[in-house]
């Protein structure tokens, strides 16, 4: 059955639980190109019922509802030519059925049309009332007339007229193979659910890339889940008109790289802070090499030349050298000797010498000396036009969202379990920019290696509380702001009824002991009586059995070793916490406190793992969001992870 989100209904009523509804206006990209719906699937061959039962699906990849009145989907030869009517909500589809509503069994058409598609191919164009093209296709790149398998789009935010962006559908429905009413690029075949999205000032949009349990939603507050986080980020980048500041632990998604290059070529100032990485193991080194290849593309800009006006400006916590491997450079269309465009240097990195062609300058320790890249610039945030902050747990990588390159090519979301959050607030953007500029070393496009500070060299120099859309937001950066101790303080003083969490790595003992006190009234090893306070949690399986992990204490197990900072304070009454059963990593880092209560429900999220490294060593950011609706959305996602891990959700 075709799923339709509830945004239309939400626009008609006001609920105390609802997040702001989207604007029902047409959107145009700042650079003049139309930002609108795209052609997502075509049954040019008809169905197994009748070859004349053709249908076409449109999709809205933007974050706003779009009126289709005045739009036309037309073939170059004049047939069909379809004047569109109605509207299409964010993340929703619009199904066009030929002749009558029985063309696609069991799914209601959004509009009927007449005129046959040629099986030998058509040139189709989707245009607005001003005859500006939103999308076009020049031939049938996929589909099969024998099996009645549709031509299905892989990525809704990359070029439609690209042979590599289409595939022959392999999912069966009642009249062949295809996914009418859903789009490619969904998690485990489930449709993307965009239920609460707004572009209004004060909007807070939360996106989960895996499933959520909507039965836990408060009225009008179903979470956004099975979401392609890359598309959400591309949507935000593509809308930038002035500036993009991006701090990224890792980046290797070509569409994001291309979007940043395109924006820089139009005059948008793009500054990037990238984490430098130590040489360690083959898998890690291969990933770092890939990132460096993309960093060089960014540094060269659209014209492929260094030190020209269209370059993305890049800086790091330590020096980064260009890749000189000829095979790799050829594979990524970089000039064979192009690394010579960058100055060759012999410098001290940490305590040892390194020589190479400097691709990215880093924070200076002294003349020709850099700090070791062992400490991580672990942020993953963007500031767009001084208005939007985009952050969360998701690294901008194939592994983080798709899992493999093959999955990425086919739009399959089988990567790590992650979330992203975007907030429309100039005040919050200013706070994040202050943090960015401290690492950058200046407020200009040119970084200052002698002034920049990372890690323990940073200072607590930002405001920590703002109001966004009437919601109180707290923000803390690491190191310097003591984010993890403040989490501990928040739970100790504010958690009254429940705490749920989903965490990649947790070693902080004080935080464990505070939650133990809430759970069983004692901080002491193997002491306590249940208090009625509700605790539930899911840990990534990578660290479930590590002696330092909070999972060992909370399940009453004896650690294989202890330390002064991790004394293994076992819980007498083991809490219902579980090792995850995700297909890949459980990469979240969120606490949910007093969900669905009147006792200041809030969620703590961001890039910070709850550890000494997360608080005192790595560059991180963490948000406290005090809001019933946002907290409830996180609860919906948590319950899905908890149930999958083996927890009882009754």
CA angle, 361 then 366 then 368, to 5°: 55
In this predicted model, what pLDDT tens digit does every residue of 407-430 receive, in sequence order? 888 888 999 999 999 999 999 999
Give DSSP secondary structure letters for 274-328. Answer: E-------HHHHHHHHHHHHHHHHHHHTTTT-SSSTTPPEEEESS-EEPP--HHH
In this predicted model, what pLDDT tens digit does every residue of 182-199 receive, in sequence order? 765 455 556 789 999 999
Task: Please say if the pLDDT value at position 535 is more than 80.
Answer: yes
Task: Please say if the pLDDT value at position 431 is more than 60.
Answer: yes
Q: How confident is the model at residue 10 (pLDDT cuts 50, 70, 90)?
A: very low
Element (H, E) at 210: none
Q: How confident is the model at residue 435 (pLDDT cuts 50, 70, 90)?
A: very high
Average pLDDT over residues 341-355: 96
Q: Which residues contact 33 (CB under 8 A, 6 or more apart)?
A: 132
Beta strands in 413-563 (DSSP E): 419-424, 465-468, 471-478, 498-503, 534-539
How many angstroms separate the Cα of 63 from the Cα of each of 67, 130, 200, 232?
13, 22, 11, 8
Cα 140 to chain centroid, rounded: 31
* pLDDT (0 to 100) of residue 410: 80
Q: Which domains does the chain have, with CATH numbers?
A: 1-184 (2.60.40.1260), 227-440 (3.30.870.10), 455-645 (3.30.870.10)
In this predicted model, what pLDDT tens digit does every residue of 387-400 receive, in sequence order? 999 999 999 999 99
Task: Please say if the pLDDT value at position 24 is more than 80.
Answer: no
How many angstroms separate the Cα of 369 from the Cα of each of 341, 348, 352, 362, 623?
22, 5, 9, 10, 34
Tokens of 174: 């009642």
The percent of residues above 70 in pLDDT, for the chain, comes to 93
How many angstroms separate the Cα of 523 from the Cα of each of 531, 536, 577?
13, 18, 18
Better-scored residue on pLDDT, 394 or 284: 394
Task: Please say if the pLDDT value at position 5 is more than 70.
Answer: no
* pLDDT (0 to 100) of residue 184: 54
DSSP H stretches of helix in 154-244: 229-238
In this predicted model, what pLDDT tens digit does every residue of 207-249 receive, in sequence order? 999 999 999 999 999 999 999 999 999 999 999 999 999 999 9
Structure-token match 């990649």, residue found: 504
Task: Please say if the pLDDT value at position 7 is more than 50.
Answer: no
Better-scored residue on pLDDT, 13 or 310: 310
Alpha-carbon distance of 228 to 244, in angstroms, equals 21
* pLDDT (0 to 100) of residue 22: 29
Task: Please say if the pLDDT value at position 95 is more than 80.
Answer: yes
Phi, psi of 17 (to 5 degrees): -95, -15
Q: Which strands form 419-424's sheet, in the order they lie side by side?
A: 204-208, 419-424, 388-392, 380-384, 243-248, 269-274, 313-316
Element (H, E) at 89: none
Alpha-carbon distance of 632 to 213, in angstroms, equals 11
Range name among 29-43, 359-373, 483-497, 563-577 with the lowest pLDDT average: 29-43
Tokens of 582: 């995700």
Rg (CA), the chain: 26
Average pLDDT over residues 175-180: 88
Beta-carbon neighbour count of residue 313 at 10 Å?
19
Pairing state between β 111-113 and 93-98: parallel
Structure-token match 């990485």, residue found: 277
Task: Please say if the pLDDT value at position 369 is more than 90.
Answer: yes
Tokens of 485: 């101790």
CA-based nearest residue to 75, from 96, 100, 103, 106: 96
Better-scored residue on pLDDT, 62 or 305: 305
Mean pLDDT, the chain, rounded, equals 91
Beta strands in 116-196 (DSSP E): 124-127, 133-137, 151-153, 166-168, 172-173, 176-177
Spatial contact of 416 and 583, defined as CB atoms under 8 Å apart: no
Looking at residue 118, what DSSP letter applies?
P
Spatial contact of 71 and 126, defined as CB atoms under 8 Å apart: yes
Looking at residue 616, what DSSP letter applies?
I
Which residues are registered as beta bridge partners of 423? 204, 389
Task: Please say if the pLDDT value at position 140 is more than 90.
Answer: yes
Cα 492 to chain centroid, rounded: 31
Q: How confident is the model at residue 616 (pLDDT cuts 50, 70, 90)?
A: very high
Task: Please say if the pLDDT value at position 72 is more than 50.
Answer: yes
ω into residue 479 within 30 of 0, thus cis?
A: yes
How many angstroms separate the Cα of 362 from the Cα of each of 134, 366, 504, 582?
41, 11, 28, 36
Spatial contact of 209 and 226, defined as CB atoms under 8 Å apart: yes
Residue 155: burial class (beta carbons within 10 Å; 0-12, 13-18, 19+):
buried
Indicate the Cα dihedral angle 197, 198, 201, 203, nearest 10°.
-20
Tokens of 161: 């007229």
Beta strands in 176-248 (DSSP E): 176-177, 204-208, 243-248
554-563 long-range contacts (CB < 8 A, ≥24 apart) are 554/512, 554/515, 554/516, 556/526
DSSP H stretches of helix in 325-445: 326-331, 398-401, 405-410, 426-440
Q: How confident is the model at residue 35 (pLDDT cuts 50, 70, 90)?
A: low
Residue 49: burial class (beta carbons within 10 Å; 0-12, 13-18, 19+):
middle
Alpha-carbon distance of 82 to 79, in angstroms, equals 9
Task: Please say if the pLDDT value at position 608 is more than 80.
Answer: yes
Pairing state between β 313-316 and 243-248: unpaired
Give DSSP secondary structure letters for 568-588. Answer: ----SS--SEEE---SS-B--
Average pLDDT over residues 134-139: 92
ω into residue 189 within 30 of 0, thus cis?
A: no
Proportion of the chain in helix, strand, coil states, percent, rounded to 5: 25, 25, 50
Helix (H, G, I), strand (E, B) or coil at 623: strand
């Amino acid at each position: 059955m075709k799923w339709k989100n509830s945004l239309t209904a939400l626009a008609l009523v006001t609920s105390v639980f609802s997040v702001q509804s989207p604007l029902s206006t047409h959107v145009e990209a700042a650079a003049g190109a139309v930002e609108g719906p795209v052609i997502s699937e075509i049954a040019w061959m008809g169905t197994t019922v009748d070859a004349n039962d053709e249908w076409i699906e449109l999709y809205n990849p933007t974050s706003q509802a779009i009126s289709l009145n005045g739009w036309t989907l037309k073939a170059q030869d004049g047939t069909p030519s379809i004047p569109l009517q109605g509207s299409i909500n964010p993340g929703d589809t619009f199904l066009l059925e030929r002749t009558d509503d029985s063309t696609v069994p069991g799914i209601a058409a959004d509009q009927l049309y007449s005129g046959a598609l040629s099986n030998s191919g058509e040139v189709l164009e989707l245009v607005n009332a001003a005859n500006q093209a939103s999308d076009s296709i020049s031939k049938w790149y996929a589909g099969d007339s024998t099996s009645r398998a549709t031509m299905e789009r892989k990525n809704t935010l990359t070029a439609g007229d690209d042979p590599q962006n289409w595939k022959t559908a392999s999912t069966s429905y009642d009249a062949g193979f295809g996914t009418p009413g859903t789009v490619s690029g969904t998690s485990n075949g489930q449709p993307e659910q965009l239920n609460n999205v707004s572009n209004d000032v004060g909007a807070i949009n939360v996106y989960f890339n895996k499933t959520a349990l909507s039965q836990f939603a408060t009225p009008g507050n179903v979470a956004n889940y099975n979401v392609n986080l890359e598309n959400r980020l591309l949507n935000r980048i593509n809308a930038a008109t002035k500036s993009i500041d991006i701090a990224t632990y890792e980046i290797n998604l070509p569409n994001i790289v291309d979007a940043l290059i395109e924006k820089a070529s139009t005059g948008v100032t793009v500054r990037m802070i990238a984490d430098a990485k130590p040489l360690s193991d083959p898998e890690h080194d291969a990933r770092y090499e890939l990132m460096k290849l993309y960093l060089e593309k960014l540094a060269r800009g659209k014209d492929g030349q260094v030190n020209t006006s269209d370059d993305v400006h890049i800086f790091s916590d330590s020096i980064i050298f260009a890749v000189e491997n000829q095979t790799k450079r050829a594979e990524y269309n970089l000039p064979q000797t192009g690394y010579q465009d960058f100055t060759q240097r012999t410098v001290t990195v940490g305590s040892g010498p390194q020589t190479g062609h400097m691709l990215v300058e880093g924070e200076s320790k002294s003349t020709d000396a850099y700090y070791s890249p062992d400490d991580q610039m672990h942020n993953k945030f963007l500031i767009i036009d001084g208005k939007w902050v985009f952050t969360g747990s998701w690294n901008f990588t194939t592994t983080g969202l798709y899992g493999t390159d093959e999955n990425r090519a086919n739009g399959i979301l089988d990567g790590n379990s992650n979330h992203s959050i975007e907030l429309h607030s100039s005040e919050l953007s200013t706070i994040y920019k202050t943090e960015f500029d401290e690492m950058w070393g200046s407020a200009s496009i040119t970084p200052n290696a002698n002034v920049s500070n990372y890690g323990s060299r940073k200072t607590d120099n930002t405001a920590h509380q703002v109001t966004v859309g009437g919601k109180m937001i707290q923000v803390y950066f690491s190191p310097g702001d003591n984010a993890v101790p403040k989490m501990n303080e928040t739970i100790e003083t504010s958690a009254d009824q429940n705490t749920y969490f989903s965490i990649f790595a947790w070693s902080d003992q004080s935080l464990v002991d505070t939650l133990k006190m809430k759970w069983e009234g004692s901080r002491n090893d193997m002491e306590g009586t249940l208090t009625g306070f509700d605790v539930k949690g899911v840990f990534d399986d990578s660290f479930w059995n590590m002696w330092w992990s909070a999972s060992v204490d909370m399940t009453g197990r004896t650690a294989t070793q202890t330390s002064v900072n991790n004394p293994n304070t076992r819980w007498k009454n083991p809490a219902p916490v579980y090792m995850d059963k995700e297909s890949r990593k459980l990469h979240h880092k969120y606490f949910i406190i007093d969900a669905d209560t009147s006792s200041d429900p809030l969620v703590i999220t961001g890039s910070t793992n709850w550890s000494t490294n997360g608080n005192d060593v790595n560059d991180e950011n963490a948000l406290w969001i005090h809001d019933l609706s946002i907290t409830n959305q996180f609860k919906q996602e948590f319950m899905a992870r908890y149930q999958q891990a083996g927890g009882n959700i009754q």
